[in-house]
Amino acid sequence: MIELFLKYEFMRNALIAAVLAGVTCGIIGTYVVIKRIVFLSGGIPHATFGGIGLGYLLGINPILTAIPFSVLSAFTIGAIHKKAKVNEDTAIGIVWAVGMALGVIFIGLSHTPASDLIGYLFGDIQTVQGSTLFMMLILDIIILISVFLFHREFLIVAFDEEFSTVVGVPSKSMYFLLLGLIALGVVVLIKAVGIILVIALLTIPATISRKFTSDIKKLMFISTFAGVTLTIIGLWLSYLFDLASGATIVLVLGIAFVIFSFLSR
């Protein structure tokens, strides 16, 4: 297994991508799971499809256009929820569909062959380029620094938003910052497993880890470890049996989830 990863450059890149994705799983996934915003973390990647389409239309790396699109959709969901007093899940539904619709229009205008899109929809970790890896690294660093600086605020807001306001946490700003970080995390994961499967990476490692600890720091470490390990196993199996990488990773996550659910009974 180790030789395989050392031998080919694309496998080396895929390995680095898996580690970067695992860090996102661990940190962002933990917040998604404890704040119960799973639907949100499914909606943002779908809305981000608009950004992918825009990249094709403009002829630039779609991951680059995905970043502002993802962040913007997350903020829009937050704003609709807070300002228009609409339920968060309704807001997510709206942004989800509109983002995808934009993507379809952009891609139609750019005459992109459908086959190119499969990688973004279902992930293609084995074709990650150096430039994309670099972007993933930068996003992970932004996430890590923000969480290091604001973990106290995120925790209070996630636990009890009203009380956080009372004790002086700028809860609205923190809510939006957290949404923004989730959006960045989503972009990191898109290349690994694709828009449709991001939700698995954001939820499964953190959910498995919860069975082992109720300490948030440990939760983040275990989730990161689980995310990296399971992604690499999926990557390896997909190479071995010549299967679609994104789907294989998700299946490995799913199987791990089932196993741990039974083990912890």
Partner 1 sequence: MGREIVSLKDLYVYFNNTVSLGDINLSIKQNTILGIIGPNGGGKTTLLRVILGLIKPDKGEIRVFGKTPEEGRKFIGYLPQYTIFDHSFPLNVFEVVLMGRYRGIFKDYSKEDKAAVINALKTVSMLEFKDRQIGRLSGGQLQRVFIARAIVREPKLLLLDEPTASIDPEMQSAFYDMLLKLKEKMAVVLITHDVGAVSVYVDEIACLNRRLFYHGPKEEGLEKIEEMYRCPIDLISHGVPHRVLRGH
Q: Which residues bind partner 1 (CB under 8 A)?
A: 34, 36, 149-150, 152-153, 155-156, 158-160, 162-170, 210, 213-216, 219
Rank residues 50 and 180 by Cβ distance to partner 1 and give the closer one: 180
On whether the CB atoms of residues 190 and 123 are closer than 8 A, the answer is yes
CB of 175 to partner 1, least distance (A): 14
Rank residues 115 and 214 by Cβ distance to partner 1 and give the closer one: 214
CB of 152 to partner 1, least distance (A): 7
Alpha carbon of 206 to those of 10, 18, 136: distances in Å? 28, 16, 20
Rank residues 187 and 226 by Cβ distance to partner 1 and give the closer one: 226
CB of 210 to partner 1, least distance (A): 7
Give the C-alpha separation, 234 to 12, whole Å. Answer: 14
CB of 38 to partner 1, least distance (A): 12
CB of 84 to partner 1, least distance (A): 16
> Can you spell out the DSSP letters for 201-261?
HHHHHHHHHHTT---HHHHHHHHHHHHHHHHHHHHHHHHHTT--HHHHHHHHHHHHHHHHH
- CA proximity to 47, closest of 67, 64, 29, 33: 67
Rank residues 129 and 146 by Cβ distance to partner 1 and give the closer one: 146
Rank residues 46 and 81 by Cβ distance to partner 1 and give the closer one: 81
Using DSSP's 3-state secondary structure scheme, residue 37 falls into coil
